[in-house]
Chain A
Amino acid sequence: MKPFRMLGRSIRDAVKSVIRNFSLSLASISCITITLIIVAIGIMASLNVKNFTEAIEKDMTIVVFLKNDATAEDAIEVEKEIKKISNVEKYTYQTKKEIKEKMQSESEVFKTVLNNWEEDESPLKDTYQVKVKNINQIKETALKIEKIDKVAVVRYGEGMVDKMVKAFASVEKVTYGIVIGLILVTVFLIINTIKLTISARRKEIGIMRLVGASNLTIKLPFIIEGMILGLLGSIVPVLVTTYGYYAFYRHFDGYLYSRLIQLIKPEPFIYQASIAIVAIGILVGMIGSASAVKKYLKI
């Protein structure tokens, strides 16, 4: 029962103190709010980037076009060679006929155009579609395949997709930097807020020491105060996260610019993000006040 009594007392004192130093509390809360909004945007942006870059990477395929004169036996030879390459995860084989049928089923234009060609004058080629284990070595793997006899051309998602993924990765890094900087500023502001409450209660703390309050009992109200500031500061960011992301998702209909960039579905993503934001808010408040208590309550 005793720990609960002490906790109740600490919470009461902490709430009192937040209200008593309202203007400074408000400053800290606003700072936490701004920080957390940016943190929230950062979290959601980076998770989305991660989500679609992973999707893109999963989709990256090496397409191996065989030479026009390749026979079915040649195709089997090529398959053997592809199998030998260690980075190859799996591959599928499509004959020109299969490709033709697939293209025709997808588009009316192709249907008529492709019908004009006979089997042996078709511009289409027999292909292998190869998926790799490690996306970073896709270039080397492609080069190896190109050297195989009877292979005409090798194509993989070089160029634009690659560059886009890299660009997003650097955006992610910059976001992290800004977020960390803002968190530090907020921690300093909380240290100042708590420092003020400590100095306002110096006399009380002195008496607490004299009558035998343990150090934890003396420190707890201040740490809880920091946590309350963090909690109050995370209300607006949580609202921004939930409603903002919903609106964003609906506005773009789940895709950004192209079908390539697929957004994460709002549920349960926004709830997870909200929990993370509240946790960061409380933690920042706690760290700030704990270090203030450590610095200014040398007991």
Chain B
Amino acid sequence: MDLIRIKNVEKKYKNGVTAIYDLNLAIEKGSFVFVIGGSGSGKSTLIKMLYREEKPTKGQVIVGGLDVAKLKNKKVYKLRRKLGIVFQDYRLLPKLTVYENVAFALECIGEKRDIIRIKVLKALEDVGLKNKVHEYPDNLSGGEQQRVAIARAIVNDPKLLLCDEPTGNLDPEKSMEIMRVLDSINKTRGTTIIMATHDKEIVNKMKKQVITLKDGHLVKFKQKGTYAE
């Protein structure tokens, strides 16, 4: 079954720039998909439309049965609870410890304390940070901070994990570490992962599905693709 279905989607920003032209896509449950393309290719816009930071101007975006375009502002949280999001800049709260940062995601949705504990520790174990539970984000390396962000994104067992350039701020070695974590999440938890990146090396090494965008048009959708110009 398809987790994400995108039909005839067009996105035009208010300043007149069209970021996506007539996009059609279907992404299966459990897949690992790279979205690649240069700057201004529309990959960030695509990711943003999936978590309804942006609404499509035309067409349908369906994520896990929810029509994102029709989702009212008040109901956005219903979509957000089904997915996890990881950004280039981690977006951790500096005054909270690693544990608290991850637990924050569950506290916000009113989860019980003992369930929070179990889920947070499991998520931190999955990203390999069980020994840094009480550290503050500022005391961690970039790679570690990003893993905390990933733990926070997956702690609620989402069906979908969206990553917008998660390795953008990391050196190649740390980037591969992040990719290994994401790959294992994809395999062990069965989480569908969509990752926007422009890191050729990663895409070529991972051999996953690749969506190539150029100037807002879908160029290719390949199984086991590589980063081709």
Contacts and interface: CB of A to CB of B under 8 A. Distances in A.
Interface of A: 1-3, 5-6, 9, 203-204, 206-215, 217, 299
B80 A209 contact: yes
Contacts of B74: 214-215
B110 A212 contact: no
B81 A212 contact: yes
Interface residues of B, number: 22
A40 B76 CA distance: 44
A9 B100 CA distance: 14
A64 B104 CA distance: 82
Contact of A5 (B105, B112, B156): B112
A203 B156 contact: no
B93 A211 contact: no
B201 interface: no
A259 B66 CA distance: 75
Given A206-B91, A299-B73, A211 B156 contact: yes
Contacts of B105: 207, 211-212
A217 B91 contact: no
Interface string B54-86: 000000000000000000011011111110010
B108 A212 contact: yes
A213 B73 contact: no
Contacts of A6: 110
Q: Which 8 pairs from chain A and chain B are nearest by CB?
A: A212-B80, A212-B81, A213-B108, A211-B105, A2-B110, A214-B77, A212-B77, A6-B110
Nearest to B105: A211
A4 to B, nearest CB: 9
A221 to B, nearest CB: 11
A213 B91 contact: no
Contacts of B104: 207, 211
A202 to B, nearest CB: 11
A3 B79 CA distance: 20
Contacts of B228: none
Given A207-B93, A213-B108, 11 more contacts: A1-B112, A2-B110, A3-B110, A5-B112, A207-B104, A210-B80, A211-B156, A212-B80, A212-B105, A212-B108, A215-B74
A206 B85 CA distance: 12
B11 interface: no
B125 interface: no
A204 B93 contact: yes
B107 interface: yes
20 contacts: A5-B112, A9-B107, A203-B91, A203-B93, A207-B105, A208-B108, A210-B80, A210-B85, A210-B91, A211-B81, A211-B104, A211-B105, A212-B78, A212-B79, A212-B81, A212-B82, A212-B105, A214-B77, A214-B109, A217-B108
Nearest to B109: A212
Interface in B145-191: 152, 156
A219 to B, nearest CB: 11
Contacts of B109: 211-214, 217
A265 B109 CA distance: 51
A188 to B, nearest CB: 26
Contacts of B77: 209, 212-215
B77 to A, nearest CB: 5
B95 to A, nearest CB: 9
